[in-house]
Amino acid sequence: MGSDDSMISPERQFGVTKPLSVAGPMDVDLQRTLDLEKFLEDSGLYESAEEAEKRIEVLARLKHIVKEWVRELTRLRGYTDQMVDDANAVILTFGSYRLGVHGPGSDIDTLCVGPSYVNREEDFFYGFHNILSEMEGVTELQPVPDAHVPVMRFKLDGISIDLLYASISVLVVPDDLDISDVSVLNNIDEPTVRSLNGCRVADQILKLVPNVEYFRTTLRCLKFWAKIRGVYSNVTGFLGGVNWALLVARVCQFYPNAVPSMLVSRFFRVYTLWRWPNPVMLCEIEDNELGFSIWDPRKNPWDRAHLMPIITPAYPCMNSSYNVSTSTLRVMMEQFQFAKIICDEIELSRTQWGALFEPYHFFESYKNYLQVDLVASDTDDLRAWRGWVESRLRQLTLMIERDTLGKLQCHPYPHEYTDSSKQCSHSAFFMGLQRKEGEVIQEGQQFDIRGTVDEFKHQINSYSYWIPGMEIYVSHVRRKQIPYYVFPEGHKRRWSSASAEQCPKRIMSPDCVEGKQESPLKRQCISPQNWSPITPEIVNGVGEQAHIDVNGTCPASVNYIERLEFHGSELEDIQDNSVITVDALKSETTASRAHNGDAVCSPNSSILTRLSSAGSSVEDNAPESLNSSDGGREGNIAGKAEIGLGVLLGDSCEEGSNLLCDNLSTNFHSRTEAVGQEQLEVFNLSHVPYLSYHSSVLLFLFLPGLIVEKMKLETKVVCVVMSALVRILVCVFTHLMLFFPFFLLYCSQLLLMAIIQ
């Protein structure tokens, strides 16, 4: 593995630059590589010999199916018997299977190359689809013709297949077709070029890496890591299989003599320091007289907007990571930084490989989320509906970034969840929400994304294959409202067991090593915890009569409207979600509502959640095992007016408490502050006209004890009392100064009268 014979000389160049280092492995690196390979094998990343043999059989059957399909089309279109006999279509593989890094249960990316007279729209997505739908052994058939790269997904004899189709400009497709030859691109359209590029790129990657086996082990490791950490999904704005392959291949070019353990560590070291949007390229970008568009930000304005360009090595060279957004790039860079720290520890023999693959606890990383629920009449309809919505989810992230000028960041989580308790076919996706770090936001500033959500739903509902029963619901949920079916154990973890990765924004802080650290100045929320385990809160009905669905059945058509308000540094996790009326809202003209949320029905069956927390911050620091015991949320809610559903991003407790004290000490208008379940009134002393000396003394003597004894104020509110005492002292001193001259005059008069007498 580390012999001098296999070492690559410094003069040899891979890629567009010289290697960063040609140093080979030491004995400790070889041992770490053995440990890594054993860890990957123990994690079940290698398929068995039986499964490998089954994949070969399935591919052979698929080749036979497409060949017979093309022959039948040739016969139906009146070609000669000789043409029917010669008619052919070939099946080529790409992706993880072609690169040799597939694992148990993974799908096979395949490409069907057919003759020029067999088209994609009618023959493939209609005719061939019908053939597969009636064939024994074919299940979960799902065509996605509107995707950037049109694809048909299905299972053949239990093996997942992603099948593309490309029609090239020949009448007879040879069995030994050289897909790398640029001549196959003659007289074809852009979607066909994108379909062919999968195979062409995979072949080029294997040609451009110094050591194919080291490349495969490293790529297998990093794909596993990306899936564990929630950053493996091209469709949601992260990186897919080809993106990770290109990144790993470039690191292999930088360190041509490195073994997998070294390559994994250097991968995170390189891309943590990489200055995006500088592109990652395995070779020079090739142009050709065929005239296809290539990635060139000097000529193409749209290429300049790409945030994380990873360029494919086959003509026409394209950016394979055009889906990456500002938010997803931020998440990936945080994860790269976290992994770099772990790898540094591994190199110092302070920890083992298992620490690198600790799962990312997404539902403990944010305080507010968007939940996208999909329902359909049956499983087949849901599969088609889910494929369409999932391919458009990244648009919601982009639209939120656009409409909030990048101040509200979204973290789409590339995992699908299902609530098995629902009576309909159901699927759910989640997105974490947070304010952009370092962004200065004024108190009371709102992010209204109702229009954004409506625009997104309008795009989704334009699905060409929509049928009744396909519905989408977008709602805001807080951390406390996260449904329990998303957790593997069926309940939330204890915060005390949280590890460092839960705090990606504070990765370098030692406070995150042992779990979430509570600030000693923060006060805990004392609002009642009365959540029922259903989410999102779905309100059915029209007008002023509403019914909260707690039975887990399929909801009626509901629009979820989101208004995000920022009051301070970050999103607040509010525990109380009581239903209130508009009159109650109007009565709170100046009150700082500490813990409340609203949910009632609007005339168009819209829901808008509101979070308010100007004076407190709530932390989740207890295990969640709530039951559906909130009977007050069942049944009809009559007489409730239309309120929206929103998110208030509140100040921390320290800031909120100081602000409350300053306001109360300078402006003692009548206001209410919730302390537990009591309402305490602080009277307006500034409006008492010209306190007399005696009344001032009485207030000075008795008011502090009265407030502390009867109102039982907390320590943080004592500042209110102290401020009142200062005002009284000033009042007393002023009265004394006014009274003193009159006192001297009176004494002088008495003295003169005595002298005269």
Same domain, 288 and 366: no
Model confidence at 175: pLDDT above 60: yes
Structure tokens of 550? 């707690």
Give the pLDDT band (50/70/90) at residue 440.
Answer: confident
Query: How high is the pLDDT of residue 94?
Result: 95
The C-alpha atoms of residue 287 and residue 294 are separated, in whole angstroms, by 7
What is the number of residues in the chain?
757
Half-sphere exposure of 454 (CA within 13 A, CB side): 10
Q: How many Cβ atoms from other residues are within 10 Å of residue 484's Cβ?
A: 16
Q: Count of domains in the chain? A: 4
Model confidence at 659: pLDDT above 50: no
58 domain residue, yes or no? yes
Q: Under 8 Å CB-to-CB from 398, ≥6 apart: which residues?
A: 325
Following DSSP, what letter does each residue of 397-410 receive, concatenated? HHHHHHHTTT-EEE
Query: How high is the pLDDT of residue 749?
Result: 73
Same domain, 486 and 634: yes
662 domain residue, yes or no? no
Model confidence at 274: pLDDT above 90: yes
Query: How high is the pLDDT of residue 698?
Result: 46
Query: How high is the pLDDT of residue 627?
Result: 35
Rounded to an integer, the average pLDDT of 217-224 is 98
The C-alpha atoms of residue 464 and residue 375 are separated, in whole angstroms, by 17
Q: How far is CA 322 from CA 128, 200, 234, 309, 443, in A?
A: 31, 19, 9, 7, 36
Same domain, 525 and 647: yes
* Digit-coded pLDDT (tens) for 364-414: 999 999 999 999 999 889 988 998 899 899 999 999 999 998 889 999 999
Strand pairing partners for 637? 546
* Digit-coded pLDDT (tens) for 140-157: 998 888 888 899 999 999
Residue of 560, 541, 739, 568 lying closest to 656 (CA atoms): 568
Same domain, 161 and 258: no
Query: How high is the pLDDT of residue 458?
Result: 94
Which of 159, 182, 201 delimits the end of a domain?
A: 201
Same domain, 381 and 507: yes
Rounded to an integer, the average pLDDT of 657-682 is 33
State the CATH number of the domain containing residue 120: 3.30.460.10
> What residue type is assigned to position 626 of the chain?
L
Same domain, 484 and 624: yes
272 domain residue, yes or no? yes
Cis check: omega of the bond before 689, within 30 degrees of 0: no
Give the pLDDT band (50/70/90) at residue 616.
Answer: very low
Task: Determine contact, residues 608/568, Cβ cutoff 8 Å.
Answer: no
Sheet of 151-156: strand order equals: 90-94, 108-114, 159-167, 151-156, 138-144
Which of 172, 201, 230 delimits the end of a domain?
A: 201
Same domain, 403 and 265: no
Model confidence at 687: pLDDT above 70: no
Query: How high is the pLDDT of residue 493?
Result: 61
747 domain residue, yes or no? no
Domain range for 175 is 49-201
Model confidence at 642: pLDDT above 60: no
SS3 457: helix
Task: Determine contact, residues 653/616, Cβ cutoff 8 Å.
Answer: yes
Task: Identify the H or E element spanning 659.
Answer: helix 653-666
Model confidence at 702: pLDDT above 80: no
Rounded to an integer, the average pLDDT of 432-450 is 80
SS3 463: coil
Model confidence at 285: pLDDT above 60: yes
The C-alpha atoms of residue 436 and residue 443 are separated, in whole angstroms, by 15
Residue of 504, 495, 620, 647 lying closest to 564 (CA atoms): 647
Task: Determine contact, residues 63/57, Cβ cutoff 8 Å.
Answer: no
Query: How high is the pLDDT of residue 502?
Result: 42
H, E, C per residue of 292-317:
CCCCCCCCCHHHHHCCCCEECCCCCC
Same domain, 222 and 189: no
Query: How high is the pLDDT of residue 291?
Result: 83
666 domain residue, yes or no? no
Where is mean pLDDT largest: 357-366, 585-594, 714-723?
Answer: 357-366
Sign of CA dihedral 38, 42, 46, 52: positive
Same domain, 194 and 251: no
Give the pLDDT band (50/70/90) at residue 34.
Answer: very high
166 domain residue, yes or no? yes
State the CATH number of the domain containing residue 424: 3.30.70.590
Higher pLDDT: 8 or 212? It is 212
Q: Under 8 Å CB-to-CB from 650, ≥6 apart: which residues?
A: 567, 568, 572, 611, 612, 613, 614, 615, 616, 617, 656
Give the pLDDT band (50/70/90) at residue 443.
Answer: low
Average pLDDT for the chain: 74
Rounded to an integer, the average pLDDT of 124-140 is 94
Query: How high is the pLDDT of residue 496?
Result: 41
Rounded to an integer, the average pLDDT of 315-342 is 95
Structure tokens of 640? 């409730």
Give the pLDDT band (50/70/90) at residue 580.
Answer: very low
Give the pLDDT band (50/70/90) at residue 459.
Answer: very high
Q: What phi and psi, each to the nearest 5 degrees, are found at residue 691?
A: -60, 135
| pLDDT > 70 fraction of the chain, expressed in percent and rounded | 65
324 domain residue, yes or no? yes
Model confidence at 490: pLDDT above 50: yes
**In angstroms, how far is CA 71 from the centroid of its own chain?**
47
660 domain residue, yes or no? no
Model confidence at 753: pLDDT above 80: no
Query: How high is the pLDDT of residue 723?
Result: 63
Q: How far is CA 356 from CA 153, 251, 344, 679, 693, in A?
A: 33, 19, 11, 50, 73
SS3 502: helix
Angle at 695 between CA 693 and CA 696, to 5 degrees: 65
Cis check: omega of the bond before 150, within 30 degrees of 0: no
Query: How high is the pLDDT of residue 147?
Result: 81
Beta strands 546-548 and 539-540 are antiparallel
Give the pLDDT band (50/70/90) at residue 444.
Answer: low
Q: Provide the 8-state DSSP code for 533.
A: S
Q: How many separate helices (H) and strands (E) can be counted in the chain?
A: 17, 18
Query: How high is the pLDDT of residue 528?
Result: 32
Same domain, 70 and 164: yes
Same domain, 434 and 388: yes
Model confidence at 221: pLDDT above 90: yes
Give the pLDDT band (50/70/90) at residue 560.
Answer: very low
* Digit-coded pLDDT (tens) for 592-604: 333 333 333 333 3
Which of 201, 218, 247 delimits the end of a domain?
A: 201
Query: How high is the pLDDT of residue 231?
Result: 97
Catalytic residue numbers read 96, 107, 109, 162, 223, 232
Global pTM? 0.68
Same domain, 9 and 60: no
Higher pLDDT: 509 or 436? It is 436
Q: DSSP 3-state helix, strand, coil percentages of the chain (rounded to 5)? A: 40, 15, 45
Cis check: omega of the bond before 256, within 30 degrees of 0: no
Strand pairing partners for 111? 92, 164
Query: How high is the pLDDT of residue 750?
Result: 77
Strand pairing partners for 92? 111
Min mean pLDDT across 446-460, 623-637, 707-721 is at 623-637
Q: What phi and psi, each to the nearest 5 degrees, are found at residue 330?
A: -60, -45
Axis-axis angle for helices 212-228, 260-273 (nearest 10): 60
State the CATH number of the domain containing residue 267: 1.10.1410.10
The C-alpha atoms of residue 477 and residue 430 are separated, in whole angstroms, by 9
Where is mean pLDDT largest: 347-356, 527-536, 646-655?
Answer: 347-356
